[in-house]
Amino acid sequence: MSTNTELESNQAILDRVTSRRHRQHVEQAIVAWLLRVAALISILTTIGIVIILVAQSAGFFAEVSPWDFLTGTEWTPLLKPQQFGVLSLVGGTLLVAAIAGIVSLTLGLGAAIFLSEYAPE
């Protein structure tokens, strides 16, 4: 009798483990499917943005040459004659980024040195 109940007990444990593994497999398959859908939506959104940007900028670059746009130093889109030079805008952005990098590097290294060498444990 005890052998029979032991077999039934072992079978019940095996059924629970198998059921749990099956449920985990199904859950993992659902999550993998959802992640694939999210990735596809992200890719399609990015492609859509690029298509719209290219379509909208084609009209702009039909009127303004790309060379004048990239190398011009005047940005006056509301005044006559309109000028669309972004060189000074890009230069200002790079200058601000360089200053921010220098400040953050200095503060970050200072904090790291202080924490590793001088701060008590």
In whole angstroms, what is the distance from residue 121 CA to residue 111 CA? Answer: 15
4 lies in the same domain as 28:
yes
Number of domain units in the chain? 2
| Nearest Cα to Cα of residue 81 among 56, 101, 63 | 63
What is the DSSP-derived secondary structure letter of residue 103?
H
**d(Cα 44, Cα 54) in Å, to the nearest integer?**
15
In a shared domain, residues 71 and 115: yes
DSSP 81-101: SPEE--HHHHHHHHHHHHHHH
17-48 per-position pLDDT tens digit: 677 777 888 889 999 999 999 999 999 999 99
pTM above 0.75, yes or no: no
63-98 pLDDT, tens per residue? 889 999 999 988 888 888 888 899 999 999 999 999
CA atoms in the 13 A half-sphere facing the CB of 68: 11
37 and 70 share one domain: no
Task: Identify each DSSP E strand in the chain by its residue range.
Answer: 75-76, 83-84
Whether the per-residue pLDDT at 1 is higher than 60: the answer is no
Q: Which amino acid, 2?
A: S
State the residue range of the domain holding 24. Answer: 1-63
